[in-house]
Structures are given as C-alpha cells and as structure tokens.
Amino acid sequence: MENGFKQFSLKGKVSLVTGGARGIGLGIARALAGAGADVMIASRTEAQLKAAAASIYEACGRNVGTFCTDVSDLSGHAAMVEATLQRFGRIDVLVNNAGSNIRKPFLEVDEADYDTIMQIQLKSVFFLSQRVAKILKAAGGGKLINVSSLTSQIGVPNISIYGAAKGGVFSLTKSLALELAPYHINVNAVAPGYVRTAMTEAAFSDPKRLEWMLSRIPLGRFGQPEDIANAVLYLASPAADYLTGEVIVIDGGWLSA
C-alpha cells in the first residue's frame, strides 16, 4: 500500500480503533496498519488483544498498541486516549467500532437491557468522539469514523435497542460532520449489513433464517470483515478528504433490493 497510490496511504498517521481485537474491528485495524498507520486497538479482553496484535504483525509487519478497557465505561476514555498519545504522539483517526447486542423481543426488554446497549453503542461513541475531536481540532484536523448498521435504516425484529442506538449513530454522524467541518475534521460512518462475526453468530444459527437473509442479498453472499475494513480505509485516507457527513451502507445490495 505504501508503494501504491499515495492518496490511500496512511503512513505517518495514528489510528485508534475500539473493539479492535476481533471481527470487524480487527479487520479494520489490519487494513489501517497495512496502509502504513500506527494503530492502537482497544478491547475488553487482554488475551484477544494480544492475539489480534500478533495477527496484525504477522499480516503486515507492524507493531500495534493495545489497551484493555470497556469503552462503555466513560471513566476509562481519558486513559485510553492518553495511552495512545504517549505511545504514538498523536491521533489522526478514531474508529468507533466497539459494540454489543441483546436479542430479545421488544415486550421483554427491560431498563437494564436498554441502558447496557445504549451505553456502549451510542453514549460511548458520543463522548469518545468529543474527547478525540478536541485533540484533532488542536492538531488542525483528522477523521472520525463510526460503525453504524443496516438496522439504522430498516427494522429488524428482536433487536429494537440495537437498531435505535445505531440510528442514533447515523444521526450523530450527520450532526458532527456539520459542527466539526470548520476544524477540518471529517466525520463519516459505515453501515454494515449481515457480516458473520462472533457478535452476530446468533442471527446465523437458524437455517431457515440464514436462507432468507441470503435470498435478500443481490451479491449472493454475506459480508466479511474485510469488506467493511476496506471502506473504513478509504474514509481514513486522504482520498476521502472531501467527504463528510456520509454513511456508506455495505450490505451486498440489500437496501437496493
């Protein structure tokens, strides 16, 4: 990548990726590192962080910083950001990817369920973005990239809180793009469709549902973490410097169908 098109190179840039130890987040971290970026990945599980860092080093020969934290606990944000600055000296790109889900019928959702999902999927995105945006403003600009979801634009049974939170991320992306544009901070998001990861495995457990989901995807396959990672790489790169306030849906054509 560093010897290819310069507009896609991230050499000299530093990226912080939450939820970067597995699934889509790991794919994103690997893509950014492969483009030349220094990367800090954050996750709740130390063992997964170590394995992820090793896999990224094996894939592209770059050392990756790790920080063990639960991003839903806002009190840990300052230490995570400071650790990134201490190791790499700067932050240029924040990828808000960390997330979780609770699959439950709407009539059975309780307040604890609601607070758990909203805390990690929306509140933590809001306040971590605010903290990093202040750094980017002082530095003259940068990129905020959120991971929304196809469910921000369509209804899916039994994940009402998740869909509401991701809808909030969709709207937040638009609002922050306007407010932060004067500081040369680009704010965009990706909205994955059905990507098979550890977090989404429950959606793939029913063979009939699996067949139905696949029948709705014109490209005839489910997404892979790399499909999402490549779009994030574009948004993080100089190639997307004139793009802000956009939510790129990566769903194999589901919405078009």
With respect to residue 35, please indicate whether it lies within any of the assigned structural domains. yes
Instruction: Tally the domains of the chain.
Output: 1
pTM, full prediction: 0.94
Per annotation, catalytic residue among 57, 114, 162, 194: 162
Distance CA 62, CA 255 (A): 37
| Residue 199: predicted pLDDT | 66
Phi-psi region of 252 (alpha: psi -120 to 50; beta: other; left: phi over 0): left
Q: Which residues pair with 42 in a beta bridge?
A: 18, 67
Q: Region 167-182: what's the mean pLDDT?
A: 98
Q: Tell me how far the alpha carbon of residue 150 is from its chain's centroid.
A: 13
The alpha carbon dihedral of 64, 70, 74, 79 has a sign of: negative
For the chain, the residue count is 257
Any domain includes 203:
yes
Average pLDDT of the chain to the nearest whole number: 94
In this predicted structure, what is the pLDDT of residue 115?
Answer: 97
Considering the domain boundaries, does residue 257 fall inside one?
A: no
Residue 220 CB neighbours (<10 A): 9
Look at residue 161 and tell me if it is in a domain: yes
Q: Which residue has the tokens 């980017």?
A: 136
Distances (CA, A) of 146 to 65, 109, 171, 193, 256: 20, 26, 11, 15, 22
pLDDT value for 109: 96
pLDDT at residue 202 tops 90 = no
Residue 171 φ then ψ, to 5°: -65, -40
| Predicted local confidence at residue 145, as pLDDT | 98
- We report the CATH number of the domain holding residue 177 as 3.40.50.720
Residue at 256 is within a domain: no
Q: Is 162 a catalytic residue?
A: yes
The band of 209, judged by pLDDT with boundaries at 50, 70 and 90, is: confident
Domain that holds residue 144: 6-250
Residue 184 lies in a domain: yes
Percentage with pLDDT > 90 across the chain:
86
Residue 255 lies in a domain: no
Contact partners, residue 199, CB within 8 Å, separation at least 6: 23, 99, 100, 101
Map tokens 């699996």 to a residue: 210
Among the ranges given (63-77, 161-175, 196-210, 237-251), the one the predictor scored with the smallest mean pLDDT: 196-210
Residue 226 within any structural domain of the chain: yes
Query: Using CA atoms, how far apart are residues 17 and 39, in angstroms rounded to an integer?
Result: 7
Give tens-digit pLDDT for 9-62. Answer: 999 999 999 999 999 999 999 999 999 999 999 999 999 999 999 999 999 988
Average pLDDT over residues 173-202: 91
Name the most confidently modeled range: 177-181, 194-198, 214-218.
177-181
